[in-house]
Amino acid sequence: MIRLENITKTFKVKGNEITAVKDVSLHIKKGEIFGIIGFSGAGKSTLVRCMNLLELPTAGSVFFDGHDLVKAGSKELRDYRKKIGMIFQQFNLLEQRTVIANVCYPLELIGLRKKEAVSRARELLRIVDLSDKELSYPSQLSGGQKQRVAIARALATNPEVLLCDEATSALDPLTTRGVLSLIEKINKELGVTIVVITHEMKVVEQICSRVAVMNKGVVEETGTVKDIFLNPKSDTGRKLVLSGDDKSVPQSDKETIRIVFDGISSYEPVFANLILETGVKLNIMGANTEDIGGSAYGQILIERPDEASTELIRKYLNKAGVGFEELPALGKK
Confidence of residue 128 (pLDDT cuts 50, 70, 90): very high
CB 50 within 8 A of CB 225: no
For the chain, domain boundaries: 2-230, 247-327
Q: Exposure pattern of 251-273 as b/e (b: 16+ CB <10 Å)?
A: bbeeebbbbbbbeebbeeebbee
Lowest mean pLDDT among 108-112, 159-163, 200-204, 290-294: 290-294
The pLDDT tens digits of the residues spanning 235-264 come to 899 889 876 544 444 555 688 998 888 766
**295-303 sheet: strands from edge to edge:** 284-292, 295-303, 256-261, 323-327
pTM: 0.84
- Please spell the DSSP secondary structure of 72-116, one letter per residue: --HHHHHHHHTTEEEEETT----TTS-HHHHHHHHHHHTT--HHH
Do 247-327 and 2-230 have the same topology in CATH?
A: no
Rounded mean pLDDT of 150-160?
93
So what CATH class is 247-327?
Answer: alpha beta
Q: Which tens digits make up the pLDDT trace of 291-313?
A: 777 777 888 889 999 999 999 99
d(C-alpha 255, C-alpha 327), whole Å: 6
Per-residue pLDDT tens for 36-81? 999 989 999 999 999 999 999 999 999 998 899 999 888 888 888 8
Give the span between the Cα atoms of 333 and 331, in whole angstroms: 7
**Region 2-230: CATH code:** 3.40.50.300
